[in-house]
């Protein structure tokens, strides 16, 4: 009989560190997903050499650095060292696109068991729970992240909102881009802080992503 082993995937290093410090999951196996899949290019062969090359370029780091930071923590997932899986993600766009990426990989890996998803609040406390099967998420990932199209049906309400925000946030008429355009007089650093204050609840982007968005917008002026 196979011994059961639960793997908890957390959205990022900050959540991982907090759960370690507070012993929230009582010594359970946890790994962080240290990515920002809502920003930059990707491919559909998740965690492959091609994926690593593309994402390393997005983050302006060497392949080895990316592998150490983003792929190495995920080895218990990639090597399928688990029988059950639980996902812990915020409701914002950043986290939901990361969640979609993990669900797509599980679909691609033909994972058969139900997946528990906990949506967490500002202090990483669980606020809602879903249980899903890993079916249809690889196609949804391709449709959203590769082809930039909205799927006809998205069952998970936080994921639906996250995808809608993702497909719109870099458009010139999004609330984010309109705000950037309206504050041309601000320095880049001042505007980054203002964007974090104004939009983190919906988008969840960090200072690095906001700075790149500002630079790209101002270069097109």
Whole-angstrom CA distances from 57 to 40, 79, 100 are 9, 25, 21
Considering the domain architecture, whether residues 175 and 98 belong to the same structural domain is answered as no
Residues 159, 75 share a domain: yes
Q: Terminal CA-to-CA distance of the chain, rounded, Å?
A: 64
**Residue 55: inside a domain:** yes
Q: Is residue 207 part of a domain?
A: yes
% of the chain surpassing 70 pLDDT: 99
Taking the C-alpha atoms of residue 159 and residue 145, their distance in angstroms, rounded to an integer, is 13
Q: Could you read off the pLDDT of 125-175 as tens digits, one per residue?
A: 999 999 999 999 999 999 999 999 999 999 999 999 999 999 999 999 999
Is the domain of 37 the same as that of 123? Answer: yes
What's the predicted TM-score (pTM) here? 0.95
CB atoms under 10 Å from CB of 111, counted, come to 18
pLDDT per position as a tens digit, 180-205: 999 999 999 999 999 999 997 899 99
Domain range for residue 124? 6-166
Q: Are residues 116 and 213 in the same domain?
A: no
The total number of structural domains in the chain stands at: 2
The answer to whether residue 1 is domain-embedded is no
Residues 32-43 as b/e (b if ≥16 CB within 10 A, e otherwise) read bbbbbbbbeebe
Q: Are residues 51 and 142 in the same domain?
A: yes
The kind and range of the H/E element at 105 are helix 93-108
Check whether residue 70 and residue 131 sit in a common domain: yes
Biggest CA–CA distance in the chain, Å, is: 66
- The answer to whether position 33 is within a domain reads yes
- Residue 146 CA to residue 31 CA, distance in Å, equals 26
Tokens representing 137? 């998420």
Q: According to the model, what pLDDT value does residue 219 have?
A: 83
């Amino acid at each position: 009989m196979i011994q059961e082993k639960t793997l908890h995937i957390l959205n990022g290093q900050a959540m991982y560190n907090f759960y370690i410090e507070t012993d929230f999951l009582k010594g359970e196996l946890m790994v962080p997903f240290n990515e920002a899949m809502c920003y930059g290019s990707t491919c559909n062969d998740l965690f492959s050499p091609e994926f690593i090359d593309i994402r390393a370029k997005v983050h302006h780091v060497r392949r080895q650095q990316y592998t150490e930071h983003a792929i190495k923590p995920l080895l218990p997932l990639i090597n399928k060292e688990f029988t059950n899986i639980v996902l812990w993600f915020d409701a914002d766009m950043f986290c939901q696109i990361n969640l979609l990426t993990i669900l797509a990989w599980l679909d691609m890996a033909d994972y058969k068991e139900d997946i528990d998803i906990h949506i967490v609040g500002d202090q990483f406390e669980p606020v809602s729970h879903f249980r899903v099967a890993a079916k249809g998420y690889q196609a949804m990932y391709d449709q959203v992240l590769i082809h930039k199209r909205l799927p006809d049906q998205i069952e998970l309400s936080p994921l639906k909102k996250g995808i809608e925000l993702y497909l719109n946030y870099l458009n010139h008429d999004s609330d984010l881009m309109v705000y950037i355009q309206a504050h041309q007089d601000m320095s880049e650093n001042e505007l980054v802080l203002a964007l974090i204050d104004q939009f983190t609840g919906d988008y969840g982007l960090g200072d690095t992503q906001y700075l790149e968005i500002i630079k790209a917008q101002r270069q097109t002026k």
